[in-house]
Every structure is written in structure tokens, then in C-alpha cells.
Amino acid sequence: MAHLAAGLARRWCPSSLQVVNFPVVQLHVSLRAMRASHTEFENAMNQVKLLKKDPGNEVKLKLYALYKQATEGPCNMPKPGVFDLISKAKWDAWNALGSLPKETAKQSYVDLVSSLNSSSKSSGQVEPRADSKPPGYETLVVTSEDGITKIMLNRPTKKNAMNPQMYHEIMLALEAASKDESSITVLTGSGDYYSSGNDLTNFTDIPSGGVQEKAKNGAILLRDFVGCFIDFPKPLIAVVNGPAVGIAVTTLGLFDAVYATDRATFHTPFSHLGQSPEGCSSHTFPRIMSPSKATEMLIFGKKLTAREACAQGLVTEVFPDSTFQKEVWTRLKAYAKLPPNAMRISKQVIRNKEKEKLHAINAEECSVLQERWLSDECMNAVVNFLSRKAKL
């Protein structure tokens, strides 16, 4: 490892320093910044060369990977030999990004560089404090053991509402999980909620290009985010530890199994918010639960209990809250011991025929939502929530 570190420090050229590291420092990704312009990307590349402090090999590798992904797309190089440690580390980092879209990688790169800049500005030459946060995701806790990669949404004080940073980090965590040693991947929430869906404060940051640009960037982010669920290659399990709202519910239709505590509820208040269905739910929900039941949820915003959601096929099984964690994890650990290749291939057989269709549906839903976000109905609903006149 020391050899690798020394080699990286010696041989890293400035242009390959460009990387964005979600895990490292808090990223202030606003709607304004959801999609990096070419100029922003170029500026970020220049800023990397001016960094006063060496960001360390882990960050350099991430910068390198994101830069390559942003400029060339998915890793297209032959895998270096095992003894070529530096090239292999770089190849691994790039390859781990899988099919992450170029635009997302570009934005991640810009955000990472910006976070590196602000952290070096705020700390100057001073060494990091002993109690400063270790490198890692800011909005997630990701762990991997017993053949299971667990991605836990971690904004419990905001009921795990999804802000732009969380969307990006989930995409990165899914990409990494798709390539790691685990056999199955789990998404769950910390605290009392699974997730309250889209963070409604996302609507407050108007970019210089105005609301049109904001809506356009939001639609791109949403399409990329949902696309990662459509393409995820291993069994993907939701451990729904509490209420779920909006996009946290719709994406469940793209999971392979959904286990819920009896305390969970499922709610998609799109009409109340002046919005329309996403997460491919316009297709998956009518199929899973019948068109009229889907109408009650997706159009009328009917909230389902966990048992109702299970009766309608959205949830696989419901457990008493008191034994939920113990029972679910015991079961998942047993499933994770099954032959991973067989599970992956079976998922392909079950899901692949639908993938193209799901991507098309995703694109259409995003384009409809892009318009909805500009409507008075949507703006009024968001203002009402933010001014605390409305709670769903």
C-alpha cells in the first residue's frame, strides 16, 4: 500500500487530478448546480491544479475516475495486470463508476473540486481537527458485510428527505455496490422514516437561468437517478423501516423485494403537490396493484398502510415493528449465501426484457414532470409546505 501511495503521489499528473469525491467533504449541490456547464467543468479542472493541499490518493483516484467518466464515458480500457498497481488502482476507480452518465460525473467532479476548495480555504494550512468527520458519504451510511451491501439514507432529522447530494450519493453507492463482492444490496433509512421523498427545499434555489433551467436540470437528475434502479444488476431489496413518501415509494416498484415494518405507510401525494408520477410508477403500479388501485395512490394520493401495500403487491412481507430488524436481517443473511451469479442471472432473465421500456417510461415521466414543476399548482404547494401551511 505504501508503494502504491508513493507511486500515485509521484506519477499523478495535474490533469488526472480531476475527480469529484462525494464521500469526502460536504457538497453544497444546489438545483442551480445540478448540471455542470462546460465552463464550470473547465474551471474545476483548473482549480484542481491550484489546490494548495494534496487531497490524498483516495480523492485523487475519485477525481481521476470522475474526470474519465465525464469526458470518455464508462471505462473502456483493458484491465491492467495485477502487478501494475497504480494503473490498476486507477482502472478500478474508473470501472467502479459503471454506467454513471457523463453529465452526472461532470457535476460530481465540479462538486468535489468545489468541496475541496472550500475545505482548504476554511482550514488554510491547519491540519484537520481530530474530531473532524472521516471521509465518507455525507447523506448515507454504506456498509458491506455478510454478502450484503447496505445503503442507509442518513438525514433522520429531515425524515431522510432526498436533497441533490443524496440523489448523487445514492447513484454512486449503487454503482459501487453493483461492482463489489456482495451478493445483494439493501436500501433502508435511519431513524423513524424510510424517506419523506424529494426534499421540498430543493425548489427554493433558483439558478441564473431561471425556473426553466431549474426544471430542466431536475428532470435530468431524476432520469439518471431512476435509471440507476432500472439497471441495477443484483437483487435489490428495500428494508422499509418507517413511512415512505413520493419517490421513496415509486422506486419500490423497481426493487426485487420489499420488506416493511407494520409502522410503515406508503404515500404518493403527487396531485396535492401539483406534480405527476415518477420512478416508472405510471407503469409499474398499475401492473403490480391493478389500474384502479394505482389511481387511488398515484392520482388521489391515498396513503396505504404496510398491510394494505402488501395485499396489493407493492410490499413483499410485513413484520411487527418490535421484531422487524432481527427477522429481516436474519432472512437477508441467509439469502446472501445463495450463489451470487445464479441470483444475478435470474434477475437478468426476470427483468431484462422490460429494461428498454422502463427507460422510455422514465424519460417520459421526467419530461412531464419538468413541465409540472413550472406550474402554479406545484409552486403554490411547495410554498405552502415551506411556510408550514401544509403537511401531507
Ligand X SMILES: CCCCC/C=C/C(=O)SCCNC(=O)CCNC(=O)[C@H](O)C(C)(C)COP(=O)(O)OP(=O)(O)OC[C@H]1O[C@@H](n2cnc3c(N)ncnc32)[C@H](O)[C@@H]1OP(=O)(O)O
Footprint of ligand X on this chain (CB under 6 A)? Answer: 158-159, 161, 196-201, 218, 221-222, 245-247, 269, 273, 278, 385, 391-392
Sign (positive/negative) of CA torsion 216, 219, 220, 221? positive
- Measured from the CB of residue 69, what is the shortest distance to ligand X in angstroms? 21
User: What are the C-alpha distances in Å from 302 to residues 99, 187, 197, 245, 339?
Assistant: 36, 24, 16, 11, 40
**Pick 18 or 282: Cβ nearer ligand X:** 282
Q: Are 286 and 343 in contact (CB under 8 A)?
A: no
Rounded to the nearest whole angstrom, what is the least distance from the CB of residue 321 to ligand X in the complex? 16
For residues 298 and 200, give the distance between their C-alpha atoms in angstroms, rounded to a whole number: 18
Exposed (0-12), middle (13-18) or buried (19+): which is 30, by Cβ within 10 Å? Answer: middle
- Name the residue number minimizing CB distance to ligand X: 246
Nearer to ligand X, 40 or 278 (CB): 278
Q: Would you say 274 or 286 has its CB closer to ligand X?
A: 274
Minimum distance from CB of 204 to ligand X (Å)? 10
Q: Which residue has the cell 415509486?
A: 250
Residue number with CB closer to ligand X (115 or 198): 198
Three-state SS for 20?
Answer: coil
Local structure of residue 162 (DSSP, 8 states): B
Which CB sits closer to ligand X, 54 or 192? 192
CB-based contact 170:133 (threshold 8 Å):
no
94 vs 229, which CB is nearer to ligand X?
Answer: 229
**Cell numbers standing for residue 142:** 454504506
- CA–CA dist 106, 160 (Å, integer): 25
Query: CB of residue 221 vs ligand X: minimum separation in angstroms?
Result: 5
Nearer Cβ to ligand X (56/207): 207
Q: Is the dihedral of CA 184, 189, 192, 197 positive or negative?
A: negative
Q: How far is the CB of 246 from ligand X (least distance, A)?
A: 2
Cβ–Cβ under 8 Å, residues 45 and 110: no
Paired residues of 317 in beta bridges = 259
